[in-house]
Amino acid sequence: GTPVHETPLATWDLLLNLNARTAYIASSAVIPAMLRQGSGKIVNVAARAALQGAAKLGAYSASKGAVIRLTEAMAAELKNDGINVNCVLPSTIDTPDNRAAMPKADPSRWVKSEALADVILFLASDAARAVHGAAIPVYGTG
C-alpha cells in the first residue's frame, strides 16, 4: 500500500468499489426476494484490517470498515423481516495467489479456506438465526 496522502484517488475508488460497493450491489439484488419470502441470510466478507487502521493500508481498511458498517445497518433494518445479515473478518487467507504475493510469509499461520467456509456456512445456517449484525473474526493462528 501507500500512505493515505499518497494513495491515488483511482486506488481509493477501486478498493471502495471492490469491497463496499459490491456488498451493497449484491445485497440490493437479493433483499427484495428475501423480503417476499420472509427469510434470508447475507454473509459479507470484510477483513481483520477493518478493525484498526495500519500504515499504508488506509484505503483497504476504510473499504473493509465500510463493509462492517453496511452489515450492521442492514442487520438493523432487516432483522424483523427474518433476514440475518452478518460478516466475517478473515486475516490473510491461505490461497495460491496470497502465497505467490507473499513468498516470505508463513502460510501455516493463515486462515485456511475451509475454516473460513465453515464459519460462513454457520452464519448461513438456521443455527445462526439469532445472530444479526455480527462481525466474526476468523484469524487462524496468525
What is the spatial distance between Cα 89 and Cα 75, in angstroms, rounded to a whole number? 16
Residue appearing with cell numbers 490461497: 95
Annotated catalytic residue, options 7, 49, 60, 75 = 60
Angle at 33 between CA 29 and CA 35, to 5 degrees: 110
Contact 107, 87 (CB under 8 A): no
Per-residue pLDDT of 53-106, as tens digits, reads 999 999 999 999 999 999 999 999 999 999 999 999 999 999 999 999 999 999
The pTM of this model reads 0.94
Give catalytic status of residue 24 as yes or no.
Answer: no
Per-residue pLDDT of 38-65, as tens digits, reads 999 999 999 999 999 999 999 999 999 9
* Element containing residue 40 per DSSP (H, E): strand 40-45
Q: What is the dihedral of CA 18, 49, 72, 84, to 10 degrees?
A: 80
